[in-house]
Amino acid sequence: MVQKAKILLVDDRPENLLALEAILSALDQTLVRASSGEEALKALLTDDFAVILLDVQMPGMDGFETAAHIKRRERTRDIPIIFLTAINHGPHHTFRGYAAGAVDYISKPFDPWVLRAKVSVFVELYMKNCQLREQAALLRLQLEGGGGKSAPGESKEPAGILAELSARLAAVEEQAEALSKQLDDESADAAAVATAAHLERKLTGLRRALDALEPGAGSGAPSVPSQN
């Protein structure tokens, strides 16, 4: 069973949070509410999120300050942030949003379909990265000699493990390729395209390491790329 991604919704107005939930419910992911910057930072201490929708105008800690804290933390600095604002102060205000680390800056009222489409791209990228980390962990186990006991009925043969890893990796590669084509077709945000390219580079490194384990590929043990 594929685990759902978590999306963090940050807004001090309950009606705005309700509207976001209505728009994003079709994605069938886990939506987490936060009514302040402080509450958002607390949620980020324990959970991993695919993307954060962050209101700019909030009392106390506003969206810019909240984003700054998020980007300073090693655990959360790579989470995509989409700023939402009801006030448009012009290019300078927009630039401040991007300078704070946002991947997008959307003014209200926004098109629900456009917002849902943007969020879905980052959810897909997050899920592919999760799958990639799982494949890397399995490959590391193989490189270390298949440490740990196999489940009942599970083969311990290296060839069987390699075949399973190769099949799983091929499925992720196929999905990543389809996503990249989708981004090209839709002229998506530069941040999403860059993230997809980074994912493809990691997939290529993992495939090379796996191929090196195949019989006749050489005696040296390959290194597995870090999946941070």
Question: Which tens digits make up the pLDDT trace of 173-212?
Answer: 777 676 666 666 555 566 666 666 667 776 776 777 667 6
User: Does residue 41 surpass a pLDDT of 90?
Assistant: yes
Q: How confident is the model at residue 129 (pLDDT cuts 50, 70, 90)?
A: confident
> What are the extents of the domains in the chain?
6-110, 119-212
Query: What is the structure's pLDDT at 113?
Result: 92
Q: How confident is the model at residue 12 (pLDDT cuts 50, 70, 90)?
A: very high
Query: What is the structure's pLDDT at 135?
Result: 76
| Average predicted confidence (pLDDT) for the chain | 77
Contact 55, 16 (CB under 8 A): yes
Assigned fold of 6-110: Rossmann fold (3.40.50)
User: Does residue 72 surpass a pLDDT of 60?
Assistant: yes
Q: Which amino acid is it at 37?
A: G
Could you tell me which residue, 50 or 1, shows the higher pLDDT? 50
Could you tell me which residue, 101 or 56, shows the higher pLDDT? 56
Tell me, yes or no, if the pTM score tops 0.85: no
- What is the pLDDT averaged over residues 162-172? 69
User: Does residue 214 surpass a pLDDT of 60?
Assistant: yes
Q: How confident is the model at residue 92 (pLDDT cuts 50, 70, 90)?
A: low
User: Does residue 33 surpass a pLDDT of 90?
Assistant: yes
